[in-house]
Chains A and B, each alone.
Chain A
Amino acid sequence: MSKANKNTRTTHMKIENTNSRPENTTDTEWRHTDLDARIKAGVQSYESDIPMNVEAAFMKELERIAPEVTSGKHRHKRRTMVWGALATAASILLAALLLFSPLFKNTPIPPLQGSDTVEEGVFVDSVSIDGAPADTYIVDSGDSNMTIVWAERPGNES
């Protein structure tokens, strides 16, 4: 190895001979048998950290490519905004239902199709079973306010 300038050596690095040679071994023998380990040790002896400017430049570029935030705080904020929007929409819908529902009260319903009798005060549009108009009967219990609507498949004999 060529001898480096003494001043340069002391300025730039300290060189240590960290190789330990087994006793009773010639230098040549030791180098031949342990070559891979020495190469590995030599290669792995020098390692540097990633410079901060390199890492910062990468993160900056990454933010530019993928600007959507990914921290937990921002995910929570995004999720909160979605729930807030849904809650607002639901409130508006509920308010509309409450506001306009009185308009549907007392709307007359056409008489039941296919029935022989129509009870006073009860109007049912139609009753179908399996897509076919059903025979429908309305029974007023008399004692209570309950009205029973009975529907049968046409042609059924009870």
Chain B
Amino acid sequence: MNGNTMTLNFAGQTRPIHGQAAAICEETAVPDYKELFLQLLVPVKKFLYNFIQKSMNFSADADDIFQDTLLKGFRYFHSFDRDRSFKTWIFTIAHNLMKDHFSTNNALLPATDIEQLEDGVNRRVPEDAREIYSAAKKLKPKHREVFFLFYYNEFKIPEIADITGLTKVNVKFILQQARKSVKKILEVQL
């Protein structure tokens, strides 16, 4: 990235682009707001979708949360700090939307067991996966999010703390509790 600052116009406001967004602009010469947002979304959206699905126990509401996350991300893209990771930013939006959803729906979501998920093709699922998802389903919503952010999306502890608004100590504690719970279930299966 060179020292010059690129700018983009959105809704009459000129904003500088730098960081991850500027790198994409330089490579593709695409200063358009919407195209930039969609390009940044491409490597992230499948992981975002699966994270929301798993955190919400594969509930039917997960699709709505996913769409709302993307739309809200687009609406507020002008306020996105270009020095920050886009992936962390969009996951933070997803976390906030799920938090609001859980607070209004009291976590009584119609969950789907992983055994019942089918896509018309025989899907091979390792034996452990079933127990792990069963254990994760019993966690509190916030703890489940941290669990999947760490084990599925492979975020680091500081990134998870940034996304969820928790302290690093709290994140580590939650992960430890989740490990204990899964370990107990895996041991029971012996």
A interface residues with partner B (beta carbon < 8 Å): 1, 4, 8, 12-19, 27-28, 31-32, 35-36, 38-51, 54, 57-58, 61-62, 65-66, 68, 70, 75
Asked if residues B151 and A40 are in contact (CB atoms below 8 Å), the reply is yes
A-B contact pairs, 26 of them (CB 8 A): A8-B115, A13-B115, A14-B124, A15-B125, A15-B130, A16-B127, A17-B126, A18-B127, A19-B126, A27-B190, A35-B183, A36-B179, A38-B132, A39-B179, A41-B128, A43-B136, A43-B148, A43-B151, A44-B152, A46-B117, A48-B119, A50-B45, A51-B63, A62-B34, A62-B70, A70-B33
Asked if residues B126 and A42 are in contact (CB atoms below 8 Å), the reply is yes
**A31–B129 CA distance with the chains assembled, in angstroms:** 14
Asked if residues B75 and A50 are in contact (CB atoms below 8 Å), the reply is no
Asked if residues B183 and A15 are in contact (CB atoms below 8 Å), the reply is no
- Tell me whether B50 is interfacial, beta carbon within 8 Å: yes
**A16–B122 CA distance with the chains assembled, in angstroms:** 11
Contacts of B46 in A (CB 8 A): 47, 49-50
Asked if residues B129 and A43 are in contact (CB atoms below 8 Å), the reply is yes
In the assembled complex, the CB of B42 is this many whole angstroms from the nearest CB of chain A, namely: 12
Contacts of A18 in B (CB 8 A): 124, 126-127
- Tell me whether B74 is interfacial, beta carbon within 8 Å: yes
Asked if residues A31 and B186 are in contact (CB atoms below 8 Å), the reply is yes
B88-123 contacts to A (CB < 8 Å): 114-119, 122-123
Please tell me which one of the listed residues B49, B74, B117, B187 contacts residue A65 in the complex, with CB atoms under 8 A apart.
Answer: B74
Contacts of A32 in B (CB 8 A): 183
Nearest B residue (CB) for A64? B71
| Residue among A19, A45, A65 with most chain B CB within 10 A | A45
Please tell me which one of the listed residues A13, A49, A51, A62 contacts residue B124 in the complex, with CB atoms under 8 A apart.
Answer: A13
Asked if residues B183 and A54 are in contact (CB atoms below 8 Å), the reply is no
Nearest A residue (CB) for B148? A43
**A142–B162 CA distance with the chains assembled, in angstroms:** 88
Asked, given contacts A4-B115, A28-B190, A35-B182, whether A43 binds B124 with beta carbons under 8 Å apart, the answer is: no
Q: Count A-B contacts at CB 8 Å.
A: 126
Please tell me which one of the listed residues A38, A47, A48, A66 contacts residue B186 in the complex, with CB atoms under 8 A apart.
Answer: A38
Please tell me which one of the listed residues A8, A27, A49, A58 contacts residue B67 in the complex, with CB atoms under 8 A apart.
Answer: A58
Contacts of B71 in A (CB 8 A): 58, 61-62, 65
Contact indicator per residue, chain B 141-164, by CB within 8 Å of chain A (1) or not (0): 000000010011010000000000
Ordered nearest first, which 7 A-B pairs have the shortest CB separation?
A42-B132, A42-B129, A42-B128, A43-B151, A18-B126, A70-B32, A45-B129
- Tell me whether B61 is interfacial, beta carbon within 8 Å: no
Asked if residues B63 and A12 are in contact (CB atoms below 8 Å), the reply is no
B33-73 contacts to A (CB < 8 Å): 33-35, 45-46, 49-50, 53-54, 63, 66-67, 70-71
Contacts of A17 in B (CB 8 A): 126-127
- Tell me whether B189 is interfacial, beta carbon within 8 Å: yes
Contacts of B53 in A (CB 8 A): 48
Contacts of B151 in A (CB 8 A): 36, 39-40, 43-44
**A18–B126 CA distance with the chains assembled, in angstroms:** 6
Nearest A residue (CB) for B189? A1
**A46–B189 CA distance with the chains assembled, in angstroms:** 20
